Structure 1
């Protein structure tokens, strides 16, 4: 994520920009995976969701200023993760309605212009149903291949390789990583300040 953002702000006109962007495609699937693990292990879902909402709201003006985004044009990934979290919990509580829940979530992400849009919600849905079986891996590969068709010329298909990382996880509850929610706005803010100091244009 940091590499992607640094590349976007400082290296857009260099040969390194594409490399940074490609490496950055691995970040969202990993965050989505951590979200899925957090949802399944949290002892206080309401507090977890409210913390994510608070950080999303706090991050938004910083996100807009750093990347030159207009008001209500694009919402940062924490909003996408929050929507995915709500869909995860709803789908677990009402499994018979899971497909409809995820479909509504994907449409909402598109209409609200959340970062990663419906793709992000679909990815969270896939990870929320992760099982180390041939069927799951087949669906994951098809999903990854579809990104090439739906987003031609985009490197988003590289996100598919992130599955090789979380497939090695032990799926047990690890240490709490509340620092991540502060890291997201902090690193964007620092990049924005550095860009301002170097007189780099936003967006």
Structure 2
């Protein structure tokens, strides 16, 4: 599934850079986010170290940020920043659930 997400995102980025008017590339690229979101949830559930998991994602985001900015001429944070935010929210929700369970 990860390869499908990478291929979908590659097609999306090729479309953005070389064929900005053609929407078909963008539609194909939209398959990547749900697959990556599923992967983030699975990674959260099965990681042995949340801190290392977040650090790896942050390194990947930092490495990919400059090529992303150069390719699309934009200064927004790439999607990995959004996925890291979602991962932190999952962690917070998990800790709230644990705390609520202890008080009952």
TM-score of the pair, normalised by structure 2: 0.80
Q: Which residue of 2 aligns with 1:78?
A: 80
Q: Which runs of 5 or more residues in structure 1 are unaligned?
A: 98-203
Offset, 1:47: 0.4
Structure 1 stretches of 4+ with a deviation exceeding 4 A read: none
In 1, Cα distance between the equivalents of 2:35 and 2:46? 17
For residue 37 of structure 1, the aligned residue among 39, 42, 54 is: 42
Deviations 1:57-115 (A, max 9, x none): 1211111111111xxx4100111111110111110111389xxxxxxxxxxxxxxxxxx
In 1, Cα distance between the equivalents of 2:43 and 2:49? 10
Q: Which residue of 1 aligns with 2:5?
A: none
SS in 1 for 2:20: coil
In 2, Cα distance between the equivalents of 1:12 and 1:67? 10
Q: Which residue of 1 aligns with 2:16?
A: 8
Structure with higher helix content: 2
Q: Map 1:14-53 to 2 at 5 A.
A: 17-53=22-58
TM-score of the pair, normalised by structure 1: 0.43
Q: Map 1:1-203 to 2 at 5 A.
A: 1-13=9-21, 17-69=22-74, 73-95=75-97
